[in-house]
Structure formats: structure tokens, C-alpha cells
Amino acid sequence: MNTTAAAFDTRHAARQRFRENLFKGATLCAALLVLLLLGGVVLSLLHGSWPAFSHFKFAFLTREVWNPVTDEFGALAPVYGTLVTSLIAMLIAIPISFGIAMFLTELAPAWLKRPVGVAIELLAAVPSIIFGIWGLFVLAPVLQRHVQPTLIEYLGPLPIVGKLFHGPPFGIGVLTASIVLAIMVLPFISAVMRDVFETVPDVLKESGYGLGATTWEVVWKVVVPYSRTGIVGGIMLGLGRALGETMAVTFVIGNAHRISPSLLAPGTTISASIANEFTEAVGDLYTSSLVALGALLFLITFVVIAAARFMLLRLDRRALSSV
């Protein structure tokens, strides 16, 4: 009987080791597959963009001209539009998302939390082309008739800020695209912030309230430091969506390859330029220039994520050193 039990235990242990090794191998293959896919994307972008970079060299990054007729291409205008629209969108979306998350976790009554949370999740599920259509046919006319004339009248004459609000009220333009992007990334950032705020132990918040802290002080001095990694992760998720958004921006930005200091003027982004022109690109240099724009967008996204990770490491080291 003991011999049978020992044999059974040996076979069971062998099966467990086989399953463990199989599990480790499967997870290793999944991790390597991600690296292979990423490497394949990088190699494809480098191979496709090399003719443009070798022909224009560094001037491709510093020139505003984009003329398919004469095969003269520069990435400055799309890169500028991508960075400006994403920056303005984040400036709008981050405070609103923070307020939504704080309201849902600290202030909202129980009967209101679920409907608002579901509404945010539904907003995140709306396709980008729907946002683009809404921005073109609803938001742009409202901005053209009621908002942009007011900005031009009252902010246009100012010495420094006024340059951002010069020109006729087109309705479409960089500002309109930024607002649409802010609405699109808002549910992603607020949902992540809400989830990380809810992971904060109640005893920490109750300790703050017990010491006489207000709700704002508890959130700012207890909740935010505890969940700053998740907050930055949510912001990076929204920023990545803003940098790479295509269809919604294409509808409302005006698709003009030029740089204007005015936020009311039409512009373009990297994604919008590729979406508009890739199917009509004739010639190797034209196609390579569009692929080079994609490589630049990949590089910008990588730099942003790397900077966010570096910032988190600095914050963690500072927190550990202060303990």
C-alpha cells in the first residue's frame, strides 16, 4: 500500500513539474512574442522610412513644406500639430478627470456612483469616427458662432496670448481638434484614476479625517501620494490615445500642412496626414515620407512613455529617501 502511494506521489509530482515547466515556457513565449512584434514594427518603420531620411536628412524634421508635386516633404507641421493638440487636450482632460474621480470616490452619493461610472465607460466605448462626426457637425459650428468670435474679441488684442487667437473663426482647427481629443481621452483617465483612488485603504483616509483634514486635504495629501503610479499610468494611457488618434482629428483639424501661432487656424497631425494621403501616395519618396511620419510618431510615443517611467522612478526614490 505504501509502495502504491509512493508511486502515485511520484507520478503526481512529475505531472506538476511538467505543468509548471509548460506554464513557464508558455509565458516566456508570450513575452518573446511581444518583443518580436515590437522589433518587427521598428524594423518595418526604419526600412520604409529610410529613403525619405536618406534623401532629406535632418531637413525632414525642420521643414514645413509638404508638396507631393515637387517631391518636397517636411515633418515639422504634422509633428507640431500632434504635440500641440495632445498638450492642449491633456491640459483640459486631466483636471476634469481628476475632479470626476475624486467626486465618484469621495463625494458622490451611493445612488449616483454607478450611473456616472457606467456613463464614463460608455463614453470610452464610443468609436472615434463618431466623435469626429459630432465635432464637425455640432461642436465646430458652435465654436464658430459663439466661442471663437468671443476669444478673438477679448483675447486677440492681448500682447502675448493674443497671438493664439488671431484670424477668422473657421470653426475647425487646432483648438477644435484639441477639445475633441480631450473629450475622447477623458473617460480613460478618469476611469483609471477612479480605480486607483478606490485601492487606497480606508484606514489611511479615516486617519486623515480623524486629524481634522478636509476632503481636499485627504485626497491631495493621502490619496494622491498613495496612488501616484496609477495616476501617471492613466495620464499616459490618455496621452497615448491623444497622440495616435486619427479619424476624429482628421474630421475637425482642417488638414493644412502649415504652422500657425493661432489655435483657431487649420493644421494637421501625423496620424491625420497618413490617413489622408497614404492611399493616394504615388512614388517611393512620397510613400517613404509618410512611413517616416509614422516612425516619428512611434519615437514620440516611446520618448513620452520613457520619460513617464523615469519620472516615476525619481518619485519613488524621493519617497524612499524621505522615509
Q: Tell me the per-residue pLDDT of 191-229, one tens digit each, with 9 for 90 and over.
A: 999 989 988 888 888 888 888 888 888 888 889 888 888
For cell 457606467, what's the residue? 118
Give me the amino acid identity at 122.
L
Q: Say which residues have a Cβ less than 8 Å from residue 246's Cβ, sequence separation at least 6.
A: 128, 271, 272, 274, 275
Q: What is the pLDDT of residue 321?
A: 65
Query: Which CATH architecture fits 59-322?
Result: Orthogonal Bundle (1.10)
Model pTM score: 0.88
Task: Look at residue 5 and tell me whether its pLDDT is greater than 80.
Answer: no
CB-neighbour burial class of residue 166 (10 A; exposed 0-12, middle 13-18, buried 19+) = middle
41-52: average pLDDT: 92
295-308: average pLDDT: 89
CA 261, 263, 265, 267 dihedral sign is positive
Spatial distance between the Cα atoms of 321 and 132, rounded to a whole number of angstroms: 47
What radius of gyration, in Å, describes the C-alpha atoms of the chain?
A: 25
302-311: average pLDDT: 84
For residue range 151-200, list pLDDT tens digits in order: 999 988 888 888 899 888 989 999 999 999 999 999 999 999 998 998 88
Q: What is the pLDDT of residue 174?
A: 94
8 Å CB contact between 239 and 311: no
Q: What is the mean pLDDT of the chain?
A: 88
Domain ranges of the chain: 1-55, 59-322
